[in-house]
Amino acid sequence: MGRWEPGARERLVTAAVDLFTEQGYDATTVTQIAERAGVTKSTFFRHFPDKRELLVAGQETLSRLLTEGIAEAPADAGPLEAVAAGLERASTAMGPESRELAPRLKAAVAASTELQQRDALKSVSLAAAMTAALVARGTPDPIAALASELGLLAFKRGYAEWSEADRGIGGELAEHLLAALAELRSASASLS
């Protein structure tokens, strides 16, 4: 595959996750990732400053979609309804490639303390973005923070269920995300 062919960023992410899973994060070099993706090392650095950033490759897009969905929710929507709108919007960025990559990514993260820390920072960043979007809608900060954390947990649970479901069955990601949010909403009502 030529180094100038489209999709270099996606190939780099896939190559990195595969190598992280096969030989571990620490043993994987940028050169190996670039070679596996069929690009040069300089192409790697045009897309990513280092190999840690591969884990959060889609974070900006995901954050943007979540906050856009929250911002564009109907004016009379409550905080969790706005979060649901954000989850629905975010699901549009996740296609079959994401679903196929998810189990390998999960294994790579589980095997590396550094990737676990990076994943935790990603979660904090996504929750903060959702909180800011809810506050901008007029939601009081403590309620916005709680709704965002529930939204983040719903995203993680729904995404995991979707990615682990049989490929022929299982529905769309949005269905899994909204079902997880509804389950968490119901569970939180029993906390009092």
**pLDDT score recorded for residue 3:** 46
Structure confidence by residue, pLDDT tens digits, 75-106: 999 999 999 999 999 998 887 778 888 888 88
Q: Is residue 132 exposed (0-12), middle (13-18) or buried (19+ Cβ within 10 Å)?
A: middle
CA pair distance 81, 134, nearest whole angstrom: 11
Inform me whether the pLDDT recorded for 126 exceeds 70: yes
Q: Kindly list the distances between the CA atom of residue 177 and the CA atoms of 73, 91, 94, in Å, as whole numbers in the listed order.
A: 16, 8, 12
CATH of domain 8-54: 1.10.10.60
Structure confidence by residue, pLDDT tens digits, 34-75: 999 999 999 999 999 988 888 777 778 889 999 999 999 999
The residue assigned the tokens 């676990």 is: 116
What percentage of the chain carries pLDDT values higher than 70? 94
Where along the chain do its domains lie? 8-54, 58-189
**pLDDT score recorded for residue 64:** 93
* Band (167; pLDDT cuts 50, 70, 90): low
| Superfamily holding 58-189 | Tetracycline Repressor, domain 2 (1.10.357.10)
CA pair distance 166, 132, nearest whole angstrom: 36
